[in-house]
Copies of this chain bind each other. A is one copy, B any other.
């Protein structure tokens, strides 16, 4: 079965007939369309076949082989006990199976989401999951709202350079945080700068056992992963069945590299500890709580010994995390999803993806999952395993559940150095330094933004890095909104042109510009404001017009608003501005002036008045 045969998830929007025909459809048909859009599973499940299941089963198993070791490892980054990585790995694929519009996307714990979780829960107690679960719950809620209110456009404001710098900074931060486990160092602080300093400062405390194991794992991972993408150079030649099986095996071996390394590492350490019980000194993961997490609403307060935190305090500590985490989660997922959707020729429904992710996070928080997102490595494995529908995730989820019940006693023997190796070899692929050279050649301002984001991520933490990056990259977009081009035609009377309308950021500048010009270059008794390009006046803009008129009146200067739409005119009339004058066109305004003031029409007289 080839890729082309796989189930095409056509977004229901495209299935909907023209509005005209829709009216004639029976209500039942309408409901069906609605269900297909809101629950994409309704679209593909009726056609689900045994063949699809075979493919999904293999893919689901393969992904599970990766998510189990990754989950255990990523939970460490999130500062949570290892089992939380598994808690975060089963609910999201279940939910995604119902709501998702991509067969490839694999939701679950990711390195970046794990780092974000610990960044925003830093003032929480170590190993306490309350803050992380609140984060998942609220972030999910916000993602759901973003889906329902079509706020997806917000993610466009994270530019390529900012995202790249953020990802690189996150990868370096995460990668370096694991170096201490490779060297078996203890008591290294968390924040990046101190972490780097103390890792080097304590190198003489290296635990040789951990170090040899860790380095071996990193090297093994590097080579084993290569099996996944061996180029056999004989694509056109026929291959034998045994060749085919051998190749498939090598691919699977490469794909399950993480699991292979962990299993080998556990076996070796276990053997060595038994042979040299006095000498061998590996750092192991330690006890892992076995069994399934409870199903319940997350706690919204922390009480542990002397330490208590109210909901308000936790929320205030998380702060902008409630905004950043859902956004980053969506960006991660959409970036991966889109690239596979294009490759495999189907279309993602962005709104529905937001709903799927939001629901996955909300329901995840009920089973002790911290915030999840689309994982790049596992999505790639899923796609390469020829997954056919999101049901592959259900298989993954069940394997994780079984592992939680059955394998937990074994997990405690996993050496931390092996998990650190898994993390390091995962995040190293996220670093893209090519972009620096490209931006240098193409657009140096982008390079500037890139480095600001990168440096502030290292110095202040990635959560501030991305905020600062977004902020700075918005400057060139916002500036023209607050400093629009205001043209003054030095005719008699002078005509003021607003090329881009008048919105609140421009209001203050508009006010200042007019008043400045009256005090310096313009001398007139009447001013015409050409309002044809004003589509909507907001409160701030109306107040500015009011202030200008109030400033002009004592100087006997009058502002005539020309060509304003009736609706906007009514708004101004509501403001009860004395001396407010309207006209339909510049010509009629000029006539109006000459009728009202047959005597005053020379600039000299106006000048006299203004200088009074």
Interface of A is mostly: helix
If the complex has contacts A156-B482, A483-B153, are A443 and B316 also in contact, measured as CB distance less than 8 A?
no
Nearest CB on B from A454, distance (A): 14
Residue A320, interface by CB 8 Å: yes
User: Which of B157, B159, B317, B571 touches A442 (beta carbons < 8 Å)?
Assistant: B571
Q: Tell whether, in the assembled complex, residue A478 and residue B157 are in contact, meaning their CB atoms are under 8 Å apart.
A: yes
* A206 partner residues in chain B, CB cutoff 8 A: none
* A128 partner residues in chain B, CB cutoff 8 A: none
Q: Tell whether, in the assembled complex, residue A539 and residue B439 are in contact, meaning their CB atoms are under 8 Å apart.
A: yes
Residue A160, interface by CB 8 Å: yes
Q: What is the bound-complex CA distance between A516 and B460, given in angstroms?
A: 40
Q: Tell whether, in the assembled complex, residue A442 and residue B539 are in contact, meaning their CB atoms are under 8 Å apart.
A: yes
Q: What is the bound-complex CA distance between A478 and B319, given in angstroms?
A: 23
Question: How many residues on A have C-beta within 8 angstroms of the other chain's C-beta atoms?
Answer: 66
User: Which of B156, B319, B551 touches A319 (beta carbons < 8 Å)?
Assistant: B319
Q: Tell whether, in the assembled complex, residue A156 and residue B477 are in contact, meaning their CB atoms are under 8 Å apart.
A: no
Residue A505, interface by CB 8 Å: yes
Q: Tell whether, in the assembled complex, residue B342 and residue A551 are in contact, meaning their CB atoms are under 8 Å apart.
A: yes
Residue A62, interface by CB 8 Å: no
User: Which of B475, B483, B538 touches A446 (beta carbons < 8 Å)?
Assistant: B538
Q: What is the bound-complex CA distance between A151 and B505, given in angstroms?
A: 13
Q: What is the bound-complex CA distance between A435 and B574, given in angstroms?
A: 12
* A482 partner residues in chain B, CB cutoff 8 A: 153-154, 156-157
Q: What is the bound-complex CA distance between A405 and B477, given in angstroms?
A: 52
If the complex has contacts A156-B482, A477-B503, A478-B153, are A161 and B540 also in contact, measured as CB distance less than 8 A?
yes
Cβ < 8 Å to B, chain A residues 478-508: 478-479, 481-483, 503-508
Q: Tell whether, in the assembled complex, residue B157 and residue A460 are in contact, meaning their CB atoms are under 8 Å apart.
A: no
If the complex has contacts A443-B537, A446-B538, are A316 and B461 also in contact, measured as CB distance less than 8 A?
yes
Nearest CB on B from A103, distance (A): 18
User: Which of B159, B471, B515, B537 touches A540 (beta carbons < 8 Å)?
Assistant: B159
Q: Tell whether, in the assembled complex, residue A446 and residue B159 are in contact, meaning their CB atoms are under 8 Å apart.
A: no
Provide the A1-19 mask, 1 if CB < 8 A to any CB of B, else 0. Answer: 0000000000000100000
If the complex has contacts A153-B479, A479-B153, are A446 and B539 also in contact, measured as CB distance less than 8 A?
yes
* A46 partner residues in chain B, CB cutoff 8 A: none
Q: Tell whether, in the assembled complex, residue A438 and residue B539 are in contact, meaning their CB atoms are under 8 Å apart.
A: yes
Q: Tell whether, in the assembled complex, residue A443 and residue B538 are in contact, meaning their CB atoms are under 8 Å apart.
A: yes
* A551 partner residues in chain B, CB cutoff 8 A: 342
Cβ < 8 Å to B, chain A residues 311-349: 312-313, 315-317, 319-320, 323, 342, 347
User: What are 15 A-B residue pairs whose CB atoms fall within 8 Å in the complex?
Assistant: A153-B479, A153-B482, A154-B478, A154-B482, A156-B482, A156-B504, A157-B505, A160-B504, A160-B507, A160-B543, A319-B464, A347-B519, A438-B575, A443-B536, A477-B478
